[in-house]
Amino acid sequence: MKVLVTGGAGFVGSHIVEEALRQGHQVVIVDDLSSGPRGNVHKDTLFCEVGIADPRVHEIIEREGVEAIIHQAAQVGVPSSLEDPRHDAASNIMGTINLLEAAKKYRLQKFVYASSAAIYGSPDYVPVDEAHPLRPMSFYGLSKKTGEEYVLMYDQYFDINAVCFRYANIFGPRQTSGEGSVVPVFLHRMLTGDPVTIDGDGNQTRDLIYVRDVARANVAALTSDARGTFNLSTNEEVTINHLFRTLDKLTGYGKEAVYGPPRPGDIYRSVLDNAKLAAVLDWKPETNFVDGLEETIAWWKTRIGE
């Protein structure tokens, strides 16, 4: 299958590209390189440096005979979404609509959309299943929720065969500390010997899933009967304190964490139920938590020259 991967130079997108190529698909990448570096572009793909809201995306899809879209490109920063909601909406909503129009126009076989646990907001219960109320707490979460609703409605009216993955907290190689996720923030500081600050008491939890497990699910969805919304997660809670202790041991950091005040609006417990996806897609996370962290540490050491 010939697949268009948006954001294919990004953290998650570049791993999806690798998995798609490994499984024998042909890949076209659309990425404006606003966040993902050119060095992440795989040599065995056709790379088009263009934004997802650009009308030229339609020309690329038609010219290259694209059969499916895995849509990963997005503005992903929560603070950025609050500072510049217009840019957030232009990318995450209008860009998605542009791709959906292409899927409708060219009758593509599959549309896979990267949604987020941010659409749930502060949970009423854990683990959070797909029936949980959607109460996003940022413009980023709102834009992902809106994008997902557009995807599902396009599927309803135009039969685009869509899957929406609500991502838990993804970690792995190529994720930088600038993306704000806890694993790369901790690792950058530990490997440079800087103090590590834990916001709040550290007992808040996250559902940490390794990026290659996320990539496998996205590529598996291309040829599956899966349709609708699915949590993409480990269904396991990891406290920030446990994460710190594990990284401390693996890196030899040897310093105590500094505890600061809780971040306003921070979700205390976050874990997503993945039973629906496991049943429909015959998928489960395969990467051991520590193994995933070790691979991530190895990548970070090469990045900072250690």
152 and 41 in one domain? Answer: yes
265 and 156 in one domain? Answer: no
Residue matched to tokens 């709040």: 200
Instruction: Quote the pLDDT of residue 75.
Output: 61
Instruction: Quote the pLDDT of residue 126.
Output: 95
Instruction: Quote the pLDDT of residue 84.
Output: 64
Q: What range does the domain containing 248 cover? A: 172-205+237-271+288-303
277 and 130 in one domain? Answer: yes
Distance in angstroms (rounded) separating the CA atoms of residues 165 and 118? 12
Distance in angstroms (rounded) separating the CA atoms of residues 69 and 79? 28
Active site residues: 140
The pair of three-digit structure tokens given for residue 304, joined into one six-digit string: 């900072």
Kindly report the pTM of this predicted structure: 0.95
257 and 125 in one domain? Answer: no
Strand partners, 259: 198
Instruction: Quote the pLDDT of residue 172.
Output: 97
126 and 256 in one domain? Answer: no
Distance in angstroms (rounded) separating the CA atoms of residues 172 and 201? 25
Q: Are strands 238-239 and 205-206 parallel, antiparallel or unpaired?
A: antiparallel
Instruction: Quote the pLDDT of residue 85.
Output: 67
Instruction: Quote the pLDDT of residue 107.
Output: 97
Instruction: Quote the pLDDT of residue 111.
Output: 98
Residues in the chain with pLDDT < 70? 75-85, 88, 178-180, 265, 305-306
Instruction: Quote the pLDDT of residue 179.
Output: 57
For residue 60, with 0-12 CB atoms within 10 Å meaning exposed, 13-18 middle and 19 or more buried, which class applies?
Answer: middle
119 and 22 in one domain? Answer: yes
